[in-house]
Amino acid sequence: MLDQFDIREDDMPTEMQRLLRTYPRDTWDAHPGFREKTQQWLGAHRMFRQLSSLLCKDTQSYLNGDKDAQDYAGRLSYRGNALVGNLHGHHGWEDHSYFPELSAADPRFDAGLEILEKDHAALDIVLESFTRTANRAIQLVQLDKSAAREEAGKLLGVAETIEAFLERHLSDEEELAVANPATRGLALRLPDPLPRHLQDHQVASFFGAVTKKRDLAMFMLMLRCGLRVEEVANLTLGAIDYGRNQIMVRCGKGAKDRIVFINIDAADALAAYLQIRPTTTEQRIFLVEKGVYKGKPISVRGIQKRIEYYSKKSGIPVSCHQLRHTMASQLLNAGADVVTLQYLLGHRRIKTTMRYARLSNQKARNDYYLTMTKVEERSGTTVTWNVRC
């Protein structure tokens, strides 16, 4: 069932787990810096684990004939509402309160927090599927017992997905976040890698291997417009404004809308694809081109697989997010300021964008020589040192 949803299956990056070695999980409760907010946060996590486990057990018992249909429907309604409602509220609090607090404590949390926030968005989709299926199962208990059991079978798969995903996601949250608030004044000693970007020759080699117009258009929107892969997947025909050379990105990360601008080569790539795109009522732009899902919107994972294919073909290691990183470094090296870049990339925190500023070595070099020339012109003299070799 996991493969039906676009959710993260990889562990958190190794460098984000190192703090756990210094402060093992079994020492948290006894630590003097362990704060009330963190205790409450972990208490909510325990509740989510219990509820997801009970939903799976109840559904399995009903399918095995060990639980009465009416009793099952009542338990499903109560526990399902508790899980979905509390998870949404909990994630809203994390995104708007707890995670910003961790980021302010040490910006090196940001890389891990971005992964966790993406998990929230992915889990929302799974919870929506769970809610629809659970509501149908409860209604069918009153109308058609056979159909209700069939629906419960589908629900079990979704419930097991939620349970497995929550176990990974909640553990990752705890192992990343707990040790810092548990230790007053703690400065994380974690590697702080810069965003990886592509050199110009790598960009040329990679795009030289791209043969499909659809794929070229998708990748150009990431490289030239800074769109995230999920924003490309959700892009609709009505979002493109060729008259103003701009794109309206609706409900991007953090449910924020923003406008990005489209340059000539990205616009040309998109126009070339739209000319061959099948006529359909589907509003999302990028469609699957073959197989059983032909004509359906391409998924985030589908786009990632396409970039993996061309990465292997070209011999250039490339990811969707690297194309965004490359745009950021190119704009900074060309003189764009960080505030402009924050808007274009849709970053909520300026600290996230500042990571790209440290990447911009060429801009620093250009700024140095430009301003030093002015200093020398104003001083009117050149200082020399009496040094013998």
Q: Known catalytic residues?
A: 228, 253, 321, 324, 347, 356
Q: Is there a contact between 172 and 12 (Cβ–Cβ < 8 Å)? A: yes
- Between β-strands 240-241 and 246-249, what pairing exists: parallel, antiparallel or unpaired? antiparallel
Per-residue buried b or exposed e for 306-317, using 16+ beta carbons within 10 Å of the residue's own CB: bbeebbeebebe
* Terminal C-alpha separation, the chain: 73
The position carrying tokens 């009522």 is 281
31 within 8 A of 182, measured Cβ to Cβ: yes
What is the SS3 assignment for 47?
helix
Kindly state the tokens that stand for 179. Answer: 């040790």
Query: Residue 91's CB: how many other CB atoms inside 10 A?
Result: 19
For residues 58 and 75, is the Cβ–Cβ distance under 8 A? yes
Contact 332, 363 (CB under 8 A): yes
Q: How many CA atoms lie within 13 A of 298 on its CB side?
A: 23
Cβ contact 281:260 at 8 Å: no
Angle at 96 between CA 94 and CA 98, to 5 degrees: 45
Partners of 284 in beta bridges: 236
CA distance 340 to 278: 36
| Distance, C-alpha 72 to centroid of its chain | 35
